[in-house]
Structure 1
């Protein structure tokens, strides 16, 4: 026994130096002199089947000619320790499959200078084993505390401050390579990376911590940052991204599927991502087209975003969306998924809820803010709360910017609801189809300035604009509840501002569509509206508007309740220099027909004690001059009908004729106002031509 121990000791003393030299020589020979290996210390234990190597140093040859068209990577490596335990020496002697309990590699510093071109003729790793071995089976492999960098320059293209990798049951043999349940010969593996940095596609990537386990099929990334080296405030040929992602979790990520080029995770969760994105100047290819070269199939069971923020600084409106909560179900990222009629943007269903939304509208004229939104594709719901649209400049500055008169509009609404919205039609044909649309708590402030010229272009606020929309529109019912509209207008000659108020407005629109199958003369858009003028004068109206009529023909009728006509003075005095001294309207009804050429109709106004005063902007404190006083007396005594009806007989009620030519540069609402003015002036005694001329003044 003693002799055996002596022989084993002598063998170990001779084996270790021989094995170290052999390994160093083999590396030089196999690499054809491209590499030099130096092992600081090597120790074997035949009794326990252990091999330990320390202070390993691998260096490439300095001769650059050796690396031309080389099939090996060019790298530098320093390894503090390599330990193999439980080596099956008897199996090694017999040339059978060699078992190894554990392989530990600790303290590696790796710098890859150059990667070889892909070699389709390269043999698999198990075929590079010595011919006399059937294979090697490693119970556990651990690569611990690895530092790595890639790139020939002083600043690496990619680097990892610390990484670890473990694998279980590695079968390095033909059978292991053929086993479809294994990846890289291993039955299971896991890895962790800390402080990874890389530059690719003109973006800098920084990973704080990443972990993957094939057994748990889960990838977790903490603190992912992506920063474009180009300015994200400008568009380029490719997308530019700035991303801060505290956590990314991917569940159900099968390594076996990845090996077969299938990306099929059960879930992807992004927590509090902050994304600033500059879209490319040309539309990018579809997502499934981008993924097709890398995966034969790509799908997600569920996609979730928790508390995200999105900013598009290079897009002219520059929208910003906060507190994004997104969930998508059954996402199929293939051409079939894109064309599947049961899917919307690749998914079976989407749920999107957001906090604050901010963007420019008709930039840089208006700013839009929304407190919160909700979109549910499964039920066709769309909702927005706390809506604000406000101008970014004063009414006069806006008119100067546009070069003509333009409404200066401020809008607030408590809630906007859409039910039955067809998201599929919107995604595929950009069609706007819905069952109902409701707007609540609307407050609108409209300021105009008549001192500027009219817009030379045709007004877009007309029913003809609906007909010309480049997308299909079909909303079965639209409702406006308890709205408030305040208007102000600077008179073109006086330079003074007039005001008028509409409150408690309720509007219902039916058949709002530009679909020729639904919009006909027999089935037009039908509108019903009611509200209060100056909080004291009730009015209601009905309209029938065949949107697709090329001549813009439409009709309407309205009723005005009892009130004092002096309510109009807040607008007529400062802008038209006309004051109603008195006048009680008992009832008024109008019927009209409009078109692109004119508005015609009748006004039946019943009133009493009507008196007018003409004012002068050059007058004294009461805005009266001798001429205006004389003109007022003549007007009230000769022209104005102070009561209607008056006298006896069937013609005692003077019916006013509505007749005013249309200027297509003004909106359809201005056309209706023209008709009311011409009908009112004619009914109170003004000659029809005069009433028409006055109504057509801007």
Structure 2
């Protein structure tokens, strides 16, 4: 046996050949892949550009700056993509727009699913620096409608991002909508028929998040600008920051249309169910908070449609659990009354905006189940421009059915003389102060549904009413509205169960035609109660009229008590007033009668004066029983700025006191004389003037003045010229 090792056995020839062939195939495969790789990008770029031209029927052309594919990560990268309309399009079935895309990055493309025509999975799609300029919408429908895109190319996308998005809509010179920058993200997008129909998804995506900065738009001539808007389906939130609306410039906009000015620092909406809005056309949210809105608008020439009709294009129905308006400012411009509300706070609950929510008898007030509101100073102009009016604070609660107004004031800007000259007839100047007005049992639902007012009780605390008038000038031509029969002419139903006036004051000032001196008279510490103040024909009847009583003091010295019974709907204006004055000297009337009537009560004490008058549209009639003693009067003549008693006046005073005026009632013989009220009612004057006429007529007759003269002295003179 040999000691040397045997040599290695040579491999079979076919194995060697197989290795060589395999190596050659690998080299050829590498060369083929390299050739494919080097030619794929240009081919894909040409294909995309060609398909855009074909599918748009020559209306658009696509330009791609660069295209790069990555086979292993299944990625596609585009740079500087431009889509623009052709110079002479063959059709006009697509919107006219120009688009520039800085970059597009696509990763994780499911190639096999794409080749097999199945739902294509895609990890992410990011579009950066996209600018779109839409000049006009399509004017014609497509000649050959195609299937929706989600049916042609079903897709499941894990992540979508649109970064630095911007664009315009409308003409270049004055676009309708302009967006400076927007960023949008979406996750788990199922771009299929099932995904788009999924009621838990919005636009086929599980979540959306968007942030828009500095958009601007035009609507109805108004310019809308916004600093920022954000939206998140995951947080169920929507926010607007610094929204402003500017009205059209003078001469622009639709004539007679609403004009709005708005500055809204912030609007926050929480609990937004965006998927329900898409699939049910129903917008639902838990709460909305409006911060410091500054809102002014000019009402349209014609009444606009109800809110639910205006909101219908946005949502068939809107449900909001809670609405809060904080520190608002509201002004209505273009009206002669110029109403303004400052520091306005309001809270509405369970709001429903649709046709049913806006119908009557649904238990809703302005679409909400309840409202609570309070405000700072409210201003307006009553009988513009004569009486600026203000309320320092106001509050209401529809659930508690209460209204409270504090610090009421009505201040005239014209003197009585100026008012007479402006109107052409005698006009009383009003001045009002009131500490508080409270309304309890206010039926807000009746007001909202039928525009009728029903209140269980109204209380007026410390009202002060100033009446300042000038007797020079004719009486007006129109009938007074301060009469019981005027209630018949009100279009709305007014029902007040009880009206209370507490610690009120009426201060009257009057300048007669005979003298420039002003007379004064006051009613102090007034307490008034009226019951059943109503013009509802179902409840206001002859058997159930308005009733009331009042107490107070004349010139803060003479106690007075009065009772009233007035059927408010009696076409004849009939009502009954009776009461009495307590013990007082007649001289308390001198501050009024001496400068205006040139008569002075030199002496006289009234123990009690009882009156009973019946009033209708033609006359004031009744009786006055005055118990008094030692009555003496003096008559004066105004000359050279002074009140004088010339010889003739002294003689006349002696005749009056000796022959006409009764010194005492009852007379020394014990006979008691009752004065008769008989004076013509002037419908151009208020009912308070009619009461005054009756008291003057009865008072003069009770002290001895003949009835004809008493009647004439109690009535107004309609022949005095304007000052």
Normalised by the shorter chain, which TM-score bucket? Answer: over 0.9
Contact 1:230–1:240 (CA under 8 A) maintained in structure 2: no
- What is the CA–CA distance in structure 2 between the aligned matches of 1:123 and 1:395, rounded to whole Å? 80
Q: Would you say 1:559 and 2:596 are equivalent positions?
A: no
Out of 92, 117, 133, which is 1:69 matched to?
92
- What is the CA–CA distance in structure 2 between the aligned matches of 1:590 and 1:235, rounded to whole Å? 63
Q: Would you say 1:37 and 2:72 are equivalent positions?
A: no
Per the TM alignment, residue 31 of structure 1 is displaced from its structure 2 partner at its CA by 2.2
- What is the CA–CA distance in structure 2 between the aligned matches of 1:234 and 1:15, rounded to whole Å? 56
1:83 equivalent in structure 2: 105
- What is the CA–CA distance in structure 1 between the aligned matches of 2:97 and 2:252, rounded to whole Å? 39
2:396 equivalent in structure 1: 375
- What is the CA–CA distance in structure 2 between the aligned matches of 1:619 and 1:289, rounded to whole Å? 72
Contact 2:221–2:252 (CA under 8 A) maintained in structure 1: no
Per the TM alignment, residue 404 of structure 1 is displaced from its structure 2 partner at its CA by 0.6
2:150 equivalent in structure 1: 126
Q: Would you say 1:532 and 2:553 are equivalent positions?
A: yes
1:47 equivalent in structure 2: 72
After TM superposition, list the pairs within 5 Å mapping 1:305-384 onto structure 2.
305-341=325-361, 342-384=363-405
- What is the CA–CA distance in structure 2 between the aligned matches of 1:192 and 1:126, rounded to whole Å? 26
After TM superposition, list the pairs within 5 Å mapping 1:277-288 onto structure 2.
277-288=297-308
After TM superposition, list the pairs within 5 Å mapping 1:96-135 onto structure 2.
96-117=118-139, 119=141, 121=145, 123-129=147-153, 135=154
Q: 1:9 to 1:629 in 2, by over 3 A?
A: farther
Contact 1:105–1:142 (CA under 8 A) maintained in structure 2: yes
- What is the CA–CA distance in structure 2 between the aligned matches of 1:510 and 1:279, rounded to whole Å? 38
Post-superposition Cα deviations, 1:498-535, rounded to whole Å, max 9, x if no partner, equal: 11111111100011112233223332211111111111
Contact 1:275–1:309 (CA under 8 A) maintained in structure 2: yes
Contact 2:215–2:225 (CA under 8 A) maintained in structure 1: yes
Contact 1:584–1:610 (CA under 8 A) maintained in structure 2: yes
Out of 634, 641, 655, which is 1:613 matched to?
634
Q: Would you say 1:299 and 2:319 are equivalent positions?
A: yes
Q: Please, which runs of 5 or more residues in structure 1 have no aligned partner?
A: 130-134
Per the TM alignment, residue 340 of structure 1 is displaced from its structure 2 partner at its CA by 4.9
Per the TM alignment, residue 119 of structure 1 is displaced from its structure 2 partner at its CA by 5.0
Per the TM alignment, residue 15 of structure 1 is displaced from its structure 2 partner at its CA by 2.3
After TM superposition, list the pairs within 5 Å mapping 1:565-644 onto structure 2.
565-618=586-639, 621-644=642-665
Q: Give 3-state SS (helix, strand or coil) of 1:339's partner.
A: coil
After TM superposition, list the pairs within 5 Å mapping 1:451-530 onto structure 2.
451-530=472-551
Bigger mean CA offset, 190-199 vs 180-189 = 180-189
- What is the CA–CA distance in structure 2 between the aligned matches of 1:147 and 1:234, rounded to whole Å? 27
- What is the CA–CA distance in structure 2 between the aligned matches of 1:122 and 1:362, rounded to whole Å? 66
Number of equivalenced pairs:
688
- What is the CA–CA distance in structure 1 between the aligned matches of 2:208 and 2:314, rounded to whole Å? 22
2:82 equivalent in structure 1: 57
Q: 1:436 to 1:36 in 2, by over 3 A?
A: same
Q: 1:225 to 1:122 in 2, by over 3 A?
A: farther
- What is the CA–CA distance in structure 1 between the aligned matches of 2:544 and 2:253, rounded to whole Å? 48
Out of 448, 452, 455, which is 1:434 matched to?
455
- What is the CA–CA distance in structure 2 between the aligned matches of 1:418 and 1:520, rounded to whole Å? 24
Per the TM alignment, residue 388 of structure 1 is displaced from its structure 2 partner at its CA by 0.8
Q: Would you say 1:270 and 2:270 are equivalent positions?
A: no
Q: CA RMSD in A?
A: 2.3
Per the TM alignment, residue 309 of structure 1 is displaced from its structure 2 partner at its CA by 1.2
Q: Please, which runs of 5 or more residues in structure 2 have no aligned partner?
A: 1-22, 718-723
- What is the CA–CA distance in structure 1 between the aligned matches of 2:253 and 2:43, rounded to whole Å? 64
Out of 549, 564, 570, which is 1:549 matched to?
570
Post-superposition Cα deviations, 1:97-156, rounded to whole Å, max 9, x if no partner, equal: 332211111112221122225859453212232xxxxx3211000000012111233232
Q: 1:119 to 1:417 in 2, by over 3 A?
A: farther
Contact 1:506–1:530 (CA under 8 A) maintained in structure 2: yes
The TM-score normalised by the length of structure 2 is 0.91
Q: Would you say 1:397 and 2:418 are equivalent positions?
A: yes
Out of 244, 258, 262, which is 2:263 matched to?
244
The TM-score normalised by the length of structure 1 is 0.94
Bigger mean CA offset, 499-508 vs 74-83 = 74-83
- What is the CA–CA distance in structure 1 between the aligned matches of 2:612 and 2:78, rounded to whole Å? 102
Contact 1:12–1:45 (CA under 8 A) maintained in structure 2: no
Out of 209, 213, 218, which is 2:237 matched to?
218
Bigger mean CA offset, 185-194 vs 18-27 = 18-27
Q: Give 3-state SS (helix, strand or coil) of 2:366's partner.
A: coil
Whichever of the two has the greater Rg, that structure is 2
Q: Would you say 1:415 and 2:459 are equivalent positions?
A: no
- What is the CA–CA distance in structure 2 between the aligned matches of 1:233 and 1:437, rounded to whole Å? 47
Bigger mean CA offset, 320-329 vs 138-147 = 320-329
Contact 2:59–2:92 (CA under 8 A) maintained in structure 1: no
- What is the CA–CA distance in structure 2 between the aligned matches of 1:77 and 1:313, rounded to whole Å? 43
Q: Would you say 1:206 and 2:231 are equivalent positions?
A: no
Out of 692, 699, 714, which is 1:695 matched to?
714
Post-superposition Cα deviations, 1:166-222, rounded to whole Å, max 9, x if no partner, equal: 111112233323433333222221211111111122221112110111222221111
2:11 equivalent in structure 1: none
